[in-house]
Amino acid sequence: MRDGSSVVRGLVILVVAASWVCGCSSKPDAERVALASQPAAADSNSSSAKPPADTAKPEPPAAASAISNSASAPSAAEAARPSGPIQFTDVTAQAGIHFKHNSGAFGKKYLPETMGSGVCFIDYDNDGWQDIFLVNSMDWPGHKVGGLSYPALYHNNHDGTFTDVTRAAGLAVESYGMGCAVGDYDNDGFDDLYLTAVGSNHLYHNQGNGKFVDVTAKAGVASPGFSASAAWVDYDNDGKLDLFVTHYIEWSIESDQYCSLDNKNKSYCTPQAYKGESSHLYRNKGGGVFEDVTKKAGLWDPTSKALGVALLDFDNDGWMDLFVSNDTEPNKLYRNNHDGTFTEAGLTAGIAFSESGRVRAGMGVDAADFDGSGHQGLLIGNFTNESMALYRNDGSGLFTDEAPKSGLGAMTTSSLTFGCFFMDYDLDGLLDVIAANGHVSDDIAVVQPTVRYAQPLGMYRNLGDKKFEDVSGKLGKAIQKPTVARGVAYADYDNDGDLDLVVTASNGPVRLLRNDNANQNDVLRVKLVGSKSNRDGIGARVTLVTSTGVRMTRMVKSGSSYLSQSEFPLTFGLGKPGKPLPGRIEIVWPSGGQQTVAGLKANTFVTIREGKGIVATEAIRFGEAK
């Protein structure tokens, strides 16, 4: 619980007016306590927070960026730093989360049953605490066994617990849901929600008062068919978020095929039994209306069986490219031509097939500069016996699968990976690999006795020099517990500086896994607010240059993983306390604007507004909300 005994770094506390931070009205950010810029001396002077009433006036940005790097003298907060090995603790029940996915399975083994579903972190009320949206599927027509099954929106109560607000938010709507994507498509300061499904998708506009309204029809983004992962992306750099929606296969109850692993009982078919379905790109025309530009943009491709999408700028030209992972079809890399069209470059880039020239079962995907080269590489979750892919980007448009050499290949051979991403779980500054595993066939052990339906999570620590270590067995029982995982997303839901996980399971309960003790390393967390660019800053490239000259490049992104989306704020792990210090941040905004921000302090959460600089700095509160 959050109480007076918890450590609050003793700096001047002020309330950030909502209008000042995001230009929005109503109550967002009003409760957020921001940390004003004060030299280190002030740290030790005041030991408790002053009441917000004292401090109604927002700190001007100029002064806010004057925080000195030398201000990381040990304070009361350092004394309270946690210690001990990093563990991920299953806190689902104590957090008040009781969601269970309903696949509708009743014995017919309809293919979609084994594919869902996803999870998105969304701070829908802008209070600075990440809320959780969970996608649900439903009973099949004619086979109702229970009541209605809804998705769930869980509001973060700031004390480690959540409250189910699905009904009040207007999201208690049944659909055969698959995934979700979060983005503020109308730049009104409130993140909106897109839900993909088998059937028709839904766009929910966030009204800013805790309620969402279904605006799918007006927006024209129903995208009928079998949708999977989606991502918000401003592909034409006009400041308005466009929408990319992957589609998997042509499927209906009537066209469901018969497949069997043991020649006796029906099993879930692989996608080879079906035709593909083209993914779609929707251009945001403004006024809440979108145009389907799939064909115009050169993206129409019904041969693909897409499950994952990662935003990246692989050639660093300031225009967003798209990577699409395909299940048993070649993966696609769409290079942005700057004129509203894309050119497919997967084959020439070397990422269409495995290194041995075979198509793999691509599912979840992520893009990041995992090797510190300044170029985004790719991570892809594949089938058992295929290994994950870890593509290094050499900067010239060529990708090489480093999974075998890095150790990741051998460590992931026996896993079937859906959700996956790069995340610095131990805050040492190196991006690690997280994999959510689980087989598609519940009867797989009958024909492959060594392969399990439920599988443990995979956690692979980046050792630097493109080498990874399997740490799945060292991070606690919750990581080792076999589940039929599908979606996975990360966020620092308890605002203690380290990244926590939510993992979904096919037809099973969701799990919230709290990261304990990673925040004994220093961290800098950064939220961007676009002005000329899209408000979420999706596509912004942010490079932290530390006091020792290390460059860490991250990008704000929607999509990635599988059917899921992680939080927008960026996390820069800094390693052992005090060294190195965050030096400066260099931002390249999607608008083309470049911005350098200095005056950063370790163990803070800073909000940076495009063209303005730091508009809020908050201390990370170690050990709160437990």
The contact set with Ca ion (CB under 5 A) reads 184, 186, 188, 190, 192, 234, 236, 238, 240, 242, 424, 426, 428, 430, 432, 492, 494, 496, 498, 500
* 3-class SS string, 203-248: EEEECCCCCEEECHHHHCCCCCEEEEEEEEECCCCCCCCEEEEEEC
- Edge-to-edge strand ranges of the sheet holding 500-505: 87-90, 511-516, 500-505, 485-491
Smallest gap, in angstroms, from Cβ of residue 41 to Ca ion? 29
Q: Which is nearer to Ca ion, 164 or 426 (CB)?
A: 426
Q: Which is nearer to Ca ion, 188 or 256 (CB)?
A: 188
Smallest gap, in angstroms, from Cβ of residue 210 to Ca ion? 13
Integer Cα distance of 606 and 548 in angstroms? 21
* CB count in 10 Å sphere of residue 83: 6
Smallest gap, in angstroms, from Cβ of residue 184 to Ca ion? 4
Characterize 95-110 residue by residue with b for buried, 16 or more Cβ atoms within 10 angstroms of its Cβ, and e for exposed.
bebebebbbbbeeebb
- Residues belonging to the chain: 626
Smallest gap, in angstroms, from Cβ of residue 494 to Ca ion? 5
Smallest gap, in angstroms, from Cβ of residue 43 to Ca ion? 23
Beta bridge partners of 584: 545
Integer Cα distance of 223 and 463 in angstroms? 42
Give the CA distances from residue 468 to residues 388, 390, 463, in Å, rounded to whole numbers and listed in that order: 13, 11, 5
Q: What are phi and psi of 434, to 5 degrees?
A: -120, 135
- Structure tokens belonging to residue 75: 């304070």
Smallest gap, in angstroms, from Cβ of residue 54 to Ca ion? 29
Q: Which is nearer to Ca ion, 137 or 472 (CB)?
A: 472
Beta bridge partners of 333: 323
Closest CA to 383 of 245, 235, 268, 266: 268
Smallest gap, in angstroms, from Cβ of residue 519 to Ca ion? 7
Q: Which is nearer to Ca ion, 49 or 86 (CB)?
A: 86
Closest CA to 571 of 434, 392, 451, 431: 431
Question: 557 by DSSP, 3-state: which?
Answer: coil
Q: Which is nearer to Ca ion, 125 or 184 (CB)?
A: 184
Smallest gap, in angstroms, from Cβ of residue 171 to Ca ion? 15
Q: Which is nearer to Ca ion, 242 or 321 (CB)?
A: 242
Q: Which is nearer to Ca ion, 315 or 432 (CB)?
A: 432
Smallest gap, in angstroms, from Cβ of residue 626 to Ca ion? 10
Q: Which is nearer to Ca ion, 269 or 475 (CB)?
A: 475
Q: Which is nearer to Ca ion, 386 or 426 (CB)?
A: 426
Beta bridge partners of 526: 570, 606
